[in-house]
Amino acid sequence: MTFQGNGPLDTSNVSAGGGGGMGRGMIIGGGGIGTVVIGLLIYFLTGSTGGISPSPQGAGNGAVSQADQQLDQHLKSCTYELANTDTACRIVATTNSLNKVWPTVLRGYQPPRGGTKIMPVNAQSINTACGVAGADTGPFYCPSDQVAVFQLDFMDRVIKKMGGTNAPFSQEYIVAHEFGHHVQTLLGDINKAQQGRGAQGGSVRVELQADCYAGVWAAHADKGADAMLKPLTQQEISDAITTAQAIGDDTIQRNAGRNVNPESFSHGTSEQRVRWFSQGYRTGAPAQCDTFSGTI
């Protein structure tokens, strides 16, 4: 029960399913189309491209599926109370909280212009300005049209299968991580992902900073008289840490029966992901999330 308050949530920047623009760009949280792969929980789910392919001409203009329509109707009914029991509404509430907290800690913050997209269970793909992402891509952020994408099946089932937890605050951490990429876009840091490869490369540094920014949000989200989150418990923070540990490059490689290869890292080790999330949560200061200076 992380959210407090009552009444309807703001769903004006959250919608179901596909859509988005055409074209190509760097997809954060996905891969393929010859771009940098620096996303959350992508390569180990698919083993290759992350299910991203170039957007065909005319993509994004097709008919809205019945599943999308049903989910859109459900989203319109989301309340603070439902956010504590329903995954889709929890994503909405977390989006609301992120867009409420970040303007207080980052001057000039603007919500993602493409909003938040939620893929229904059994959805096949979604089109963004970065390409067409398959349903198995996992959560990602596309800076070209500033859209964050989440799959209900991933949030409810896949993350637990990978050794994380689908506890409420763990899911909120995942949403906050993708919004961390949006903060990087606003600050002009997102392209640093292309600066070198491996354990000390740009991709790892961008991912760890997004983890730190998720911690910054958590540090502020339960503070103040109008805070959307109830005071976070140690168990809830532990839930986020459990998921951060599960998605470290070293842990993923060991669980897959492979030798740990730092040169192939794109997200950072389990220890690094926990440490940088904790850094953001402990300090509550974006300036303390500088993963681009020195050794990480």
Q: What is the pLDDT of residues 162-207, one digit of tens each?
A: 999 999 999 999 999 999 999 999 999 999 988 888 999 999 999 9
Mean pLDDT of the residues in the chain: 86
CA 47 to chain centre: 19
Has residue 49 got a pLDDT over 90?
no
Cβ atoms of 138 and 29 within 8 Å: the answer is: yes
Has residue 38 got a pLDDT over 70?
no
Q: How far apart are CA 96 and CA 9, in angstroms?
A: 8
Has residue 159 got a pLDDT over 70?
yes
Has residue 260 got a pLDDT over 80?
yes
Stretch 24-53: mean pLDDT: 38
Q: How far apart are CA 169 and CA 87, in angstroms?
A: 11
Please report the sign of the dihedral spanned by the C-alpha atoms of residue 288, residue 182, residue 157, residue 169: positive
Has residue 55 got a pLDDT over 70?
no
Q: How far apart are CA 182 and CA 13, in angstroms?
A: 14
**Percent of the chain whose predicted confidence (pLDDT) is above 70:** 84
Has residue 22 got a pLDDT over 80?
no
Strands 140-142 and 14-16: unpaired
Per-residue pLDDT band at 26 (split at 50, 70, 90): low
Has residue 87 got a pLDDT over 70?
yes
What is the reported pLDDT for 33? 25
- Joined together, the tokens standing for residue 143 give 């800076």
